[in-house]
Structure 1
Amino acid sequence: MTTQAVEEFEYEALPDNASLSASLLAGAFAGIAEHAIMYPVDSIKTRMQILHPTPQAMYSGVMNAVSKISTTEGVRTLWRGVNSVILGAGPAHALYFGAYEYAKEAFGGNEAGHHPLAAGAAGACATISSDALMNPFDVIKQRMQVHGSVYKNVMDCARKVYAAEGMRAFYISYPTTLTMTIPFQSIQFATYEYLRKVFNPSGDYDPITHITAGGIAGAFAAAATTPLDVAKTLLQTRGESTDLRIRNCNGLAEAFKLIYQRQGMAGFAKGVQPRILSHMPSTAICWAVYEYGKWVLSRNNSDQHPINLH
């Protein structure tokens, strides 16, 4: 006698017969949601990290920045450059999560128990590949976020930066970006995977778990890597500065030296508050959307592929 049943799939790892496009699609949606929703806070973070801002762009805190920008430049200013991250975030995060799922499986991260090293190593592999694609979009975004930006749109910014500084301008910060994002993503992924299993040992789909674990992981990783983010901002916006030392800054070591000389140790913590405020919810959103996407795709896959059990 034949009994039909539908095979149950663990959504944490997409089914073996699911295509790579499933992870890529879930990752793309997650990346766009993460960057777009929290973009205004990211704009404030960039402005607060500028080494020598104009008097009109000096802020005492996040709320002061929101008020000052809204009243003097208009609320829409907080969204300048968002098209750049939307254009880049979809394909970059698709690559990011696709690489993460592949590497986590290869490193044994999907086996029972806690595997923080496997999750961290998979996160590092994911960020190396995705940042190579995202870095030019991030440069354009930050050039449009600075006070007094004269660029009309994303294409205008890309064209003018390339004409004035060449292709190097889009990748001058890439080594610094990797120096920041590899530890950021390793900390974030390891923390997230650990907390997810602690909060939800059964491994069932639970959005509250993904939001909570993602938020804590994002906040912790953001705080730990803020000094590197300050240096990255300096390198990515150097072409907008009238200070010759800033314009000629050529790498992480020189950026660190310049920040310390101008602002001391306090300079490395600039923007930490909006960075945490940005990454905590955005990482929670990213993981929640991604895990939901995997859950939906896994359910659809299992519904469409019944297994005959004899």
Structure 2
Amino acid sequence: NPFHKGKCFVYSNGLMDHICVCENGDSKAWYKKPGHFKGTLDAFVKIIRIEGIKSLWSGLPPTLVMAVPTTVIYFTCYDQLSEALKNRLGKDDEYIPLLAGSLSRFGSTTVVSPLELIRTRMQYRKLSYKQLYLCVSTKVAADGWFSLWTGWSPTVLRDVPFSALYWYNYERFKKMMCKEVGANEPTFFISFTSGAASGSIAAVITQPFDVVKTHRQIQLWESETLKIPQRDGTSTWAVMRKILARNGITGLYTGITPRLVKIAPACAIMISTYEYGKSVFSHLNEKMNQRP
């Protein structure tokens, strides 16, 4: 983060963001930044050369702990909501993916938000479970239960529109490609291509909210860990106005290239694997039901 050099940085591995303390901060970071990067490709080359290819998967275990239940809730809700909306609005209603995607992401984000806050605290402070319990209980006692949903609004503003745009475009691209090749159900390639395209479109449109979310994470870290008072407003719109005043509209699209590089394949792999798995289990159920 260029505005907070020497304090902390936000690391993202494709599924979730991680706040990390810099090497020259109060403690050592688990990730050692190998100098300055000229671009995404340059970053890949330098990280692999200096730290080895395994470092590209740094922080994967804590990510999976959060990502697995979040994804299970998200996809289950989407499928159930889609079926419920089809029964009410009709199977051919093109806005069903948009509604189901929005509601399912809103629900999963709201449910997991307190866990996300706890995970973030554990990342920039080495706390035992007892210390973590005391930290959380003290915050609840001081600020109430709603304090556990700190950072919820910028996350929702980023993830809900992303989800709505993603599912809406994915279903359209999938139908279009199936019609083009004459397939009754999507192949792995169709799902993969549709997922990558729809994920890229959603990422570009929602990038400003991703930038704001990162800035708010940094502000929270500074105020609670470095005890730096926040003079400016910390609301989503206040942070957005601050970025616009300082860097213009381009400031809201900082990091769009690496985000596209991570989002496109992540969405493609996730949805194609999900569709393939759903198809396999669907055929297995049909075979089992046909047995005498």
Distance 1:260 1:158 in 2: 36
One-letter amino acid of the counterpart of residue 203, structure 2 = A
Q: Is the 8 A contact 1:139 1:170 kept in 2?
A: yes
Q: 2:256 aligns with which of 253, 272, 277?
A: 272
Where does the alignment leave 5 or more consecutive residues of structure 1 unmatched? Answer: 1-38, 48-54
After superposing the two structures, state which structure 1 stretch, 283-292 or 238-247, moved more.
238-247
144, 151, 171: which one aligns with 1:193:
171
How much does 1:98 deviate? Answer: 1.2
Structure 1 residue 234 corresponds to structure 2 residue 212: no
Provide the C-alpha distance between the structure 2 equivalents of 1:59 and 1:188, rounded to a whole number of angstroms. 30
Correspondence 1:131 to 2:81: no
Distance in 2 (CA, whole Å) between partners of 1:61 and 1:164 is: 42
Q: Is the 8 A contact 2:18 2:120 kept in 1?
A: no
Q: 1:222 aligns with which of 193, 203, 207?
A: 203
Contact 2:117 2:150 in 1 (8 A): no
Instruction: Give TM-score scaled by structure 1 length.
Output: 0.68
Q: Distance in 2 between matches of 1:89 and 1:74?
A: 25
CA deviations over 1:25-59 (Å, ceiling 9, x no partner): xxxxxxxxxxxxxx645689989xxxxxxx98764
Provide the secondary structure at the position in 2 that maps to 1:305: helix
Alignment coverage as a number of residue pairs: 258
Change (3 A) 1:73 1:121: same
RCO greater where, 1 or 2, for CA within 8 Å and sep 6 or more? 1
Shift of 1:248: 7.1
CA-CA distance at 1:80 after TM superposition? 4.0
1:251 to 215, 218, 235: 235
Tell me how far apart the structure 2 counterparts of residues 119 and 248 of structure 1 sit (CA, whole Å): 38
Deviations 1:204-223 (A, max 9, x none): 24100000000000000001
Alignment partner of 1:174 is 2:152: yes
How much does 1:129 deviate? 1.1
How much is the aligned-residue C-alpha RMSD, in angstroms?
A: 3.8
TM-aligned CA deviation for residue 255 of structure 1: 1.6
1:121 alignment partner in structure 2: 99
Give the aligned residue type for 2:207: T
- Take 1:98 and 1:108, find their aligned partners in 2: how far apart are those partners? 16
Work out which of the residue numbers 214, 238, 245 in structure 2 matches 1:261: 245
User: CA separation in 2, counterparts of 1:160 and 1:256?
Assistant: 33
* Alpha-carbon displacement from aligned partner over 1:220-279 (angstroms, at most 9, x marks no partner): 000110000111112223233359465975321122123223333221011111111111
Q: Residue 79 of structure 2 corresponds to which residue in structure 1?
A: 101
In 2, Cα distance between equivalents of 1:119 and 1:266: 31
Looking at structure 1, the residues matched to 124 and 159 of structure 2 have their Cα atoms a distance apart, in angstroms, of 29
Separation (CA, whole Å) in 2 of partners of 1:163 and 1:66: 41
Q: Please tell me whether residue 206 in structure 1 is matched to residue 187 in structure 2.
A: yes
Given the superposition, is the C-alpha separation of residues 284 and 45 from structure 1 closer, same or farther in structure 2, using an over 3 Å criterion?
A: farther
Shift of 1:107: 1.8
Contact in 2 for aligned 1:142/1:237 (Cα 8 Å): no
The change in CA–CA distance for 1:58 and 1:121 in structure 2 (over 3 A counts) is: farther
The structural deviation recorded for 1:89 is 1.4
Matched, 1:291 2:269: no
Cα displacement (A) at 1:78: 4.5
Structural mapping, 1:151-166, within 5 Å = 151=125, 162=136
Give me the whole-angstrom Cα distance separating, in 1, the residues matched to 2:119 and 2:254: 19
> What amino acid is the match of 2:255?
G
Closer/same/farther in 2, CA of residues 207 and 121 from structure 1, 3 Å limit? same
1:306 aligns with 2:290: yes
Give the TM-score normalised by the residue count of structure 2: 0.72
Over 3 Å counting, the alpha-carbon distance change for 1:255 and 1:75 in structure 2 is farther
- How much has 1:76 moved relative to structure 2? 5.6
2:112 aligned counterpart, secondary structure: helix
Which residue matches 1:87?
A: 65
Contact 1:234 1:246 in 2 (8 A): no
